[in-house]
Structure 1
Amino acid sequence: MWPSYLKSFKAYLQLERSLSEHSVAAYLHDVELLVQYLESMGRALSPQEVTLTVLQECIHWIAGLGMTATSQARIISGIKAFYKFLLLENVIQEDPTQLLEAPKTRRKLPDVLTFEEIEQIIAQIDLSTPEGHRNKAILEIMYSCGLRVSEVVGLKISQLHFNDGFIRVIGKGDKERLVPIGRQAIQYVNMYRETDRRQLDIKKGQEDILFLNRRGNGLTRVMIFLVIKKLVEQAGIKKQVSPHTFRHSFATHLVEGGANLRAVQEMLGHESITTTEIYTHLDREYLRDTLARYHPRF
């Protein structure tokens, strides 16, 4: 039911709207999140049966995964585009997304984890479970390299250059960058490859994908959100934590330690230095908090 509509939507985006491969994938991912929500709730609804209430519940579910207001707004935009397409094709007579509102977005300093909190979260991983070493390797590489969640799920074994201490990352707009990787992250990735990954029946075409689920397929971004959400709850940390929080923490800890902003920009894969400059604001807040805490006259 859904696959055939998604296939037609993909063709529409490619042929009629002439969108790039990256943009098409983003639109499809947004609609697939709605499908994942319906499946997780055990609701076998067709696109025609989805109501405004169902969509609002889906966005609430997405927010519960720790996605930011900006990410939620982008997902709503993708779902709206899908239903406009169905309207054009006369698959539906009324658009349920018409009154679907995106959360208000504002530029604010993101939550950042301390090094101790990151250690606490990683310590919750049960290495005796089939996914234990994989989850540990994921969190170690996210914090060691400051990767986006999309870069983690797309990471390939052929992109690991451990002898040189680097990984090759495919970022936004299919731009490549080389990112240094620490000894500890290398150790846990190798451990995962020698233990959990070796036990899997890897599906055809997935042989080069580094992080796999128990069925031998690549992970979804939502899966990583859920893994982190559970670990944060177990650690008793009350901050709003998502996979992106590890990237924010990576950059903030570098800037606090005196790293060159251009070097941080290069490692994060930011096109503009102004995007990276948010971490100088974070650094100023950190300095102010330190002064307030320890200076007797502040």
Structure 2
Amino acid sequence: MHVLPAAEVVTAYLDHLAVERGTARNTLDSYARDLRRYLRYLEQAGVRDFRRVTESEVTGFGAALREGDEVHPPLAASSAARALVAVRGLHRFAHLDGLTEDDPAREVRPPAPAKRLPKALPVDDVLRLLAMPPAEGERPLRDRALLELLYSTGARISEAVGLDLDDVDREERTVLLDGKGGKQRLVPIGRPAVEALEAYLVRARPVLALRGRGTAALFLNARGTRLSRQSAWQVLKTNAERAGISTGVSPHTLRHSFATHLLEGGADVRVVQELLGHASVTTTQVYTLVTMNTLREVYATAHPRALG
């Protein structure tokens, strides 16, 4: 039986992607780069016939991607996963096309992407951000109330703009949020947020409401209709820039900060889970990694023998 060079299979696979699958040029280029690296790995492993590739070569290649070598630096988990997807596609193509008897990459799974830790702002930055909207004018009063509510409750922006007037109980200082999957949760709201809401509801919302046709929405835009998620995100972004906070701001910035500051203050992770509306405590535990990183930094700089 003649030798089946791996390079021939790679060429045929890339042609198949380009011609029959209509794969985008950028994707083809990245697959070609990854598969060239795979070819070099097989060559160094002494595999000349593509039909002789086993699962151990495929997993070995995955490990090599993460470790790096003399020529290539180690790849991040996301890049290594992309390269393994290309290799899995290559072997699947060869098997389905009858070039190989089996698919050695079938059971090989790309590495799970590393958890991206949520970015929380320091308390001083949050306080500066909340103080940005002036205390006069319809839109500034609305923006101040919106930002205070987001930080005080940990609400998602979509949950905040979805609030109706009846969802806020100013006497009990609670807010009823409609979370993911139609699940509602009642969360407490701090006094500064209640005061900002009072100012908005008394001095700003009635003026904005006159421009619309009547709506129960809590937060209104300049036309007197419900504020959109995009507009609320723009409020957060604009005021963060005005406060000099240019990096690490996302629609969830105040939600992340709410969770992190609660845990740093000693709150139980399951209480924070309830407040955030997470279905699983595992999701909330990502924030404990953030606070642990902070503890490590403080420990490393404060303990006399931390570096010993």
When normalised by structure 2's length, the TM-score is 0.60
Query: Paired residue for 2:302?
Result: 294
**Structure 1 pair 202–260 and aligned structure 2 pair: CA distance change class (3 A):** farther
What SS class does the counterpart of residue 222 from structure 1 fall into? helix
8 Å CA contact 1:202–1:215 kept in 2: the answer is yes
1:144 Cα deviation from its structure 2 partner: 0.5
Query: Paired residue for 1:204?
Result: 213
CA deviation string 1:47-93 (max 9, x = no partner): xxxxx9xxxxxxxxxxxxxxxxxxxxxxxxxxxxxxxxxxxxxxxxx
1:234 Cα deviation from its structure 2 partner: 1.4
Query: Paired residue for 1:164?
Result: 172
Alignment of 1:1-298 (within 5 A): 107-200=115-208, 201=210, 203-204=212-213, 206=215, 208-298=216-306
**Which sections of structure 2, spanning at least 5 residues, go unmatched?**
1-23, 25-112
Q: Stretches of 4+ moved more than 2 A in 1?
A: 126-130, 202-205, 292-298
Distance 2:169 2:137 in 1: 28
CA deviation string 1:20-43 (max 9, x = no partner): xxxxxxxxxxxxxxxxxxxxxxxx
8 Å CA contact 2:138–2:200 kept in 1: the answer is no
1:202 Cα deviation from its structure 2 partner: 5.0
8 Å CA contact 1:111–1:239 kept in 2: the answer is no
What SS class does the counterpart of residue 112 from structure 1 fall into? coil
What SS class does the counterpart of residue 169 from structure 1 fall into? strand
8 Å CA contact 1:177–1:269 kept in 2: the answer is yes
Distance 1:285 1:199 in 2: 47
1:238 Cα deviation from its structure 2 partner: 3.1
Letter of the structure 1 residue corresponding to residue 244 of structure 2: G
Distance 2:211 2:194 in 1: 22
- More relative contact order, 1 or 2 (CA 8 Å, 6+ apart): 1
What SS class does the counterpart of residue 243 from structure 1 fall into? coil
1:194 Cα deviation from its structure 2 partner: 0.5
Q: How many matched pairs?
A: 194
What SS class does the counterpart of residue 238 from structure 1 fall into? coil
1:243 Cα deviation from its structure 2 partner: 2.9
Distance 2:137 2:302 in 1: 43
8 Å CA contact 1:162–1:186 kept in 2: the answer is yes
Distance 2:173 2:201 in 1: 17
8 Å CA contact 1:166–1:180 kept in 2: the answer is yes
**Which sections of structure 1, spanning at least 5 residues, go unmatched?**
1-51, 53-104
1:127 Cα deviation from its structure 2 partner: 2.8
